[in-house]
Structure 1
């Protein structure tokens, strides 16, 4: 059974570092959540290290600029690991070929194709029509408000050709302010359901955790075997990923699962346990909102 806590500082002293989700924890897609920012600033002031671990398909420096615009200052975090960086490395190694059909919102997702200096002899990525493609790069839907089923005709054609889909963001949905939007993960799930092959590099899959650990180690601020807690509102991404990585998790019930857990300030204990049981998931701790 999960332990409901009132503030992160109630448990933060047990951990050297926190892998913290962004959307739904530190911001709502429109602006920063001040209590969460203050909690991370306090944790860092007391010696903790904050690695922002996000399923954003953007490079980390693009995410840094974005969250600064939302009102999350540099002193609230130490480093950023993005699904986009993990997926870009795989793309430039040619995991889905050189000629790709791109799914995403232009120009917002164009940063995904920035050169990646750590890859030696990268393949020459070329965006082409689906009929000429060797693979698919999916940063998200063309229209995040449209039902993902509108992509079935293209996916049927792609599956028949045996194209692999590289998913740059495994999230299924996000809430941008009060508006719920579809993400790349929903498209990848549909493609897999139709018999296609989808490749994932963000939470809950191992590549992004490997990247986060390397970003943490590069800071040289924690022991070689640090005590890590993962913080997030995605039960199938943040919490599942933490369980698979064998690290403790703090579930933010007031994010994507606010309705199911009846969270206002804090979750309703019975509703929370019913939700976790239905998801066949557990979390070491739960809090309504990061603070």
Structure 2
């Protein structure tokens, strides 16, 4: 997952301390790297400074409290370490285009109108589809209660009894034309609850529908219950590429939330994660007579 260990550890620390005072000077001792290295790597890999990331996540959490609690705006502002209600209002309006008070009223009004219709089925999710070996045993919905940024996330979960061999995926595809000859980094944020196995995936097909680049995180899959974290896949879009398909795969039972999908062109300095690469094969055949343990 080509957020490096450094960035992964920074994100994990931030997620665990969003309501605490976070000082950049404490990161070297907590994470184990120099402050300069942390700041440089985090900015390079996420496109945001550590401060910008913290601010974005605090505003997302604040929007949740505005929607689901009756805490005062001032209390929420101080909880997420804004110096005043005015500073919080300015920052919130930049992201959500509404001051927090109006946002709360609007969301409450929508909640009263829709009541239990907070989750939207996959048939109504623009661009996304539900597929897999047993899609009838899974549900794909939009979740307005749990999200990483913005106001919603995609939730894929098992319903009823499923086994480890059964799976489903939220997915979509698009033409490869604009990306031919480029190295593409696909990334997203995922959160899980009691999953047996899941991960993001990316596949690039040629005109015949054959997969020519593929990675489904099988060698670094997510298991159990995890907080929001960033995962990425890097593949080459070869000249013979015709289509690009991507999504999140859930094997067996559990729930996985997905948010913040993005595609970025990267240089060849970023190694590919292609699982079809011949480089991942041994140079010579071995144990041909089954005598080796």
The normalised TM-score by structure 2 is: 0.26
Q: Quick check: which has more Rg, 1 or 2? A: 2
Larger relative contact order, structure 1 or 2 (CA cutoff 8 Å, min sep 6): 1
Q: Which has the larger share of strand? A: 2
Q: Which has the larger share of helix? A: 1
